[in-house]
Chains A and B, each alone.
Chain A
Amino acid sequence: MRRAPTWPRHALMIAVSILMLIPFYWVVKTSLTGENIYAYPPRIIPVNPHLFNYVDVWYLIPFPRYLLNSVIVTAMAICGNLLFNTAAGYALTKNFPGRRWVVLLFLSCMLIPFQATIIPAYLITSWLGVLNTHLAVALPLLSTIICIFIFKASFEAVPKSLIDAARLDGLSEWRIILRIMLPLSKPAIATNIILTFIWSWNAFLWPLIVTRTADMQTLPLGLARFLSVLEDTTGALYAFVVLVLVPGLTIFLMAQKEFIRGLTSGATKG
């Protein structure tokens, strides 16, 4: 039987990819030229591109400080996520009284938007005495329910006989997680890292509420501050946007295989 040619499908996918990449191209092009984004007719090819807008961003605002804050907060969120979500995900694979209720509680909590919980979250953070610290910014992302379920789904896919054998060999529950579960759950770990990275890196509202000084602000807050301080700086603004986007894109491109595998395994085995 003669197979249908694949090129129409590939051509369509390439066309759709180009369409989806146009906004990114436009952001990068504007960052390199600084031209008016409302200019008509728009120029497709950049004219006299240069990198000085990036130098401007680096020096006109405390960009390195914002970057450092974002890196610290994201690292804390990722570490917290891996620790707490692993423990919670493993616990939910066990049979204990009220397990269904706990799962139901988690699922119902997912229905509540974060904005609705901001005041209690702020009061708790204030009560802990950590306002205006990196910990305060990272606190709500130290454990996320979606990621708990991703770990749960991944752990449930591990054969029970393997866990029983480990237990017979005398491994404690923590060592079972570290030695058996986690090495077999690399896609789940990658998904956790990427999702937490994206959420933490792009968080705006919560850092805006819990930070009080400019030296504790993260990149999205820096972007808003940049907009409020400088006018007529289209090129520098877009350069800032590119600098905020690049770390997330890099991490996603590095781990996209594990990311997609982790998401799909979570979708089919939960």
Chain B
Amino acid sequence: MNWKAILTNRFVVLPLALAIIVGAWNIYIALHDDGLITGEVRDASGAPIPGAAVIFFERNFINYQEKQRVTTDARGAFRFTDMNVHVGQLEARLPDGRNSERRQLQLWFRAQNTLVAPLIIGAAKS
């Protein structure tokens, strides 16, 4: 059997290449799908804000609804776990009513571990 001819045949090469790409992508997903979404909340000067509520809004077919809420630690960091979603929005809120802009989150696969760019809460309006 002429293995070289078989392995260079386009009917073998293309499906094989596709299978390798799909396999590699699935291995990558399996290693990065713990559902962790992490980030920080900061003020306009870049200082971390502890005690801010960070809310994750999950998309349903019509709008976005709150799914989970966590509080930032002393370093202003937050961490969501077991987030089995691929799209949503993040917003940080302070008890005094100030809040960050809602950040759209689009992930490449469900439950992708993600480090979000800092959510910025502006100064109180006078």
- A residues contacting B by CB (< 8 A) are 50-52, 55-56, 59, 229-230, 250, 254-255
Contacts and interface: CB of A to CB of B under 8 A. Distances in A.
B3 interface: no
B10 A254 contact: yes
A51 B86 CA distance: 13
Interface of B: 10-11, 14, 61, 86-87, 106-110
21 contacts: A50-B106, A51-B108, A52-B87, A52-B106, A55-B86, A55-B87, A55-B106, A55-B107, A55-B108, A55-B109, A56-B86, A56-B87, A59-B86, A59-B110, A229-B61, A230-B61, A250-B14, A254-B10, A254-B11, A254-B14, A255-B11
A13 B80 CA distance: 56
Given A55-B86, A56-B86, A59-B86, 5 more contacts: A52-B87, A52-B106, A55-B109, A230-B61, A254-B14
Contacts of B86: 55-56, 59
Contacts of A52: 87, 106
A231 to B, nearest CB: 8
A50 B108 CA distance: 11
Contacts of B87: 52, 55-56
Which of B106, B107, B109, B110 lies at the interface centre, i.e. has the most chain A CB atoms within 10 A of its CB? B106
Nearest to A230: B61
Contacts of B109: 55
Nearest to A229: B61
B16 to A, nearest CB: 12
Contacts of B107: 55
A180 B11 CA distance: 22
Nearest to A54: B108
Contacts of B10: 254
B13 to A, nearest CB: 9
Contacts of A254: 10-11, 14
Nearest to A254: B10
A24 B10 CA distance: 24
Contacts of B11: 254-255
A254 B11 CA distance: 7
Contacts of A50: 106
Contacts of B110: 59
A-B interface, 10 closest residue pairs, ranked by CB to CB distance from nearest: A52-B106, A59-B86, A254-B10, A55-B86, A59-B110, A254-B14, A254-B11, A55-B108, A230-B61, A55-B109
A243 to B, nearest CB: 14
Contacts of A229: 61
A139 B10 CA distance: 30
A229 B14 CA distance: 35
B73 to A, nearest CB: 30
Nearest to A257: B10
A151 B56 CA distance: 60
Contacts of B14: 250, 254
Nearest to B9: A254
A167 B114 CA distance: 68
Contacts of A230: 61
B62 to A, nearest CB: 9
A55 B107 CA distance: 8
Contacts of A51: 108
A126 B106 CA distance: 45
A150 to B, nearest CB: 20
